[in-house]
Chains A and B, each alone.
Chain A
Amino acid sequence: MDKDSMSDILLDVRELDVSFDTHTGKLHAVNKISYAVREGEVMGLVGESGSGKTVSSYSILGLLKPPAVINGGRVLYKGRDILGLSNKEAAAIRGREISMIFQNPMSCFDPVFTIGSQMTETVLANDKTASKAEAAARSIDMLREVSIRNPGQLMRRYSYELSGGMLQRVMIAMALLCKPKLLIADEPTTALDVTIQAAIIQILKKLQKQHNMAMLYITHNFGIVAEICDRVSVMCGGYIVEQGSTDDIFYSSAHPYTQLLMKMVPRMDTPLSEPLPYIEGLPSDPTALGEGCVFCTRCPYSRDICREKKPPEVSLAPGHTASCWLRADNASAESGRPSV
């Protein structure tokens, strides 16, 4: 794919800025983040818990509710700004153009309607010409695509009768019913059993290829990133701190946060007696973000300047950027990449 071509950009998020009005003050959940997703590409949005991944993805579809406030920025979908659309305008995009699957499948289905009625309703809402029978047939076909064996019977079930893995398949099927161009997957396997996780990721990968659909894949697990993503944006405390192709991030990551996060993936060969790895220190308080780098309190390489000034975004290679003073110095000194 031609990385410099701007024409195939499907979703272009620019300087998106979201905060929450809380009792303890303004909580800055997303700070002027920018990234783009090209057609047919899988973009990974990676970051620890609370780094603003969910909030930023909700704002794309207009799903945020008060006390969330969108302070600024633009979300261009096929060149059109879809931030702050009315309910009716947003409904025309949701499901048909951009669809979403969520972290906890158990709580994402209406418990008093059957799976089938929720699926056919989705088809009918997005395709006014479809008949009820067509909608049901399409739902059953889609359930087959996510490897559900007896879709006809499943249509008559309620969500609480099904397992989490089953529901996540159904949620994927439901999201893809109307052939969206972009699927936002917000940690779709985090709530599931490890054995089921792999199956779900395989299904997503297969369908993404088959439908040539772009995907914004949100996760905190670099193992999954390696498996599925073409490019990666790394989030920390509401900022995007590093961005690049999956290879850039894995083989020449530039931000200490990214490097630490990658080390945090538990490995099969670590002895059980050892504690699970974690990044030392507490994430900075999003209600009181200081002047410096968001990661400076926990960064093993932090210096005075890191606490005093926000690091600039430095371009390290085509498509690979990082916001870190270590790199800013090096970039200005025109030197190569020292390992940190």
Chain B
Amino acid sequence: MSARVGMSSDAEKRAGKKGNRTGVRLKVARYIIKRTLLFIPAILVILFILYTLIYFLPGSRMAMMPISRGGDALDSLFTSISAPDNFFTKFVRYIYNIIAHRDFGRSTPSSAGLMSDIAYRIKNTLLLLLTGVGATIVVGVPLGIYAALRKGRAADRVVSVITVFLSALPPYTVAIVLAIVICVRLSLLPVTHVASDPKAYILPTVTIALGGIASVARMARSSMLEVLEQPYITALRSKGLPERSVILKHALKNAMIPVISALGGLIAQLLCGTFVVENFFMVPGLGSFMLNSLSVRDHFEILGCAVILIIILMCMNLVSDILYGFVNPKIRLRYAEKPARRKRKEAAG
């Protein structure tokens, strides 16, 4: 999509003649850039709220620790105007340190700081999250579609029972059962994390994905059933299209619209799952790190982790919004509209 932004003027002229499609693409690219830029104020606001909450906790390290690194540009500025050392100046310093020094602050002088292992931890968490989301979609969608196509038959009932059962189970129960059966009884996989062993990622991923698979399968099933009832499906059949293309091309793409729009929420749900799972299987990720920080009340680390998790979540949401526009042309047009017009339309309708 972003490649479209840098179109040559020649191509732009042709686009103008060809109609509005290419123009829409350009505007969609602009929409994506705008959404990305909006991350910055959003993150600042969230940071400020979390910072305030933590700062005023009884015994907050955030309030007690000197936050200055000494000798940098902001430091000399603050001394020259003899700024007081209070809540606000500390917040400015905190933000400045993150941007200028990639330093999220330390609760104790000896602490290694959040950034010491951060890349490794983010990698582990992202790996679990992405494989979890991937498995959820790759397994959940076909399962739901299959159940919808076999509506009322044995296969549909089996899928329904399994998905209801799975979505009722919290991840920590699933983790315990899987660990006992697969690792302890059958000794098929290692119980705890071994960095060099890719097999160690299997159980955590499965644990995270199971709940997601259940909800995606149920959503895909009901959405597919609804689409199959639509008049346009009958109309497409009446044109002589083969059943395969009616189902797998037309019905499927329409049925995916609500599933993809729910993806953002689902990702957030799975991210919470990684917390539990990382701790249970001792995967060194952001979740287990953050829980550890919580237990030793390292407020700098807690805030830092929260910010990183929020950024991950926002990126995932953006990706799912873009995907949503990709399957739903109506939304694509909406993205391309000027915000003012969109608002007026919403107010009117």
Contacts and interface: CB of A to CB of B under 8 A. Distances in A.
Nearest to A100: B238
Interface stretch (A106-114, A264-272, A316-324): A106-114
B344 interface: no
A113 B330 CA distance: 11
A316 to B, nearest CB: 35
Interface centre among A112, A125, A160 (most CB of B within 10 A): A112
A141 interface: no
A160 B333 CA distance: 11
A275 to B, nearest CB: 32
Is the interface on chain B under 10, 10 to 19, 20 to 34, or 35 or more residues?
Answer: 20 to 34
A277 B257 CA distance: 45
6 contacts: A91-B243, A112-B250, A112-B254, A122-B240, A125-B245, A156-B21
A112 B239 contact: no
B71 interface: no
Contact of A108 (B232, B253, B327, B329): B232
Contact of B243 (A88, A110, A114, A156): A88
B42 interface: no
A175 B19 contact: no
A158 interface: yes
Given A91-B241, A125-B242, 19 more contacts: A87-B243, A91-B237, A91-B240, A91-B243, A93-B240, A94-B237, A94-B239, A95-B238, A95-B239, A95-B240, A95-B241, A100-B235, A100-B238, A110-B232, A110-B236, A112-B253, A126-B239, A160-B330, A178-B240
A174 B327 contact: no
B230 A88 contact: no
Contact of A88 (B231, B242, B328): B242
Closest 3 CB pairs of A and B: A95-B240, A94-B240, A108-B235
A294 to B, nearest CB: 27
Interface string B37-80: 00000000000000000000000000000000000000000000
Contact of A153 (B19, B236, B238, B242): B19
A111 B330 contact: yes
A140 B254 CA distance: 26
Interface of B: 19, 21, 230-232, 234-243, 245, 250, 253-254, 257, 327-330
Contact of A126 (B236, B240, B245): B240
A218 to B, nearest CB: 14
A99 interface: yes
Contact of B238 (A63, A107, A118): A63
A153 B17 CA distance: 11
B242 A91 contact: yes
Nearest to A112: B253
B261 to A, nearest CB: 13
Interface centre among B21, B235, B327, B330 (most CB of A within 10 A): B235
B235 to A, nearest CB: 4
Contact of B232 (A91, A95, A107, A126): A107
A125 B235 contact: no
A95 B245 CA distance: 15
Contacts of A160: 330
B238 A121 contact: no
A111 B245 contact: no
Contacts of A92: 240
Nearest to A113: B250
Given A156-B19, A156-B21, A158-B329, A109 B235 contact: yes
A180 B329 CA distance: 31
Contact of B328 (A87, A93, A108, A112): A112
A91 B21 CA distance: 33
A200 interface: no
A24 to B, nearest CB: 19
A96 interface: yes
Contacts of B230: 107
Contacts of B19: 153, 156
A121 B240 contact: no
B256 to A, nearest CB: 9
Contacts of B232: 107-111
Nearest to B228: A65
Nearest to A119: B239
Contacts of A158: 329-330
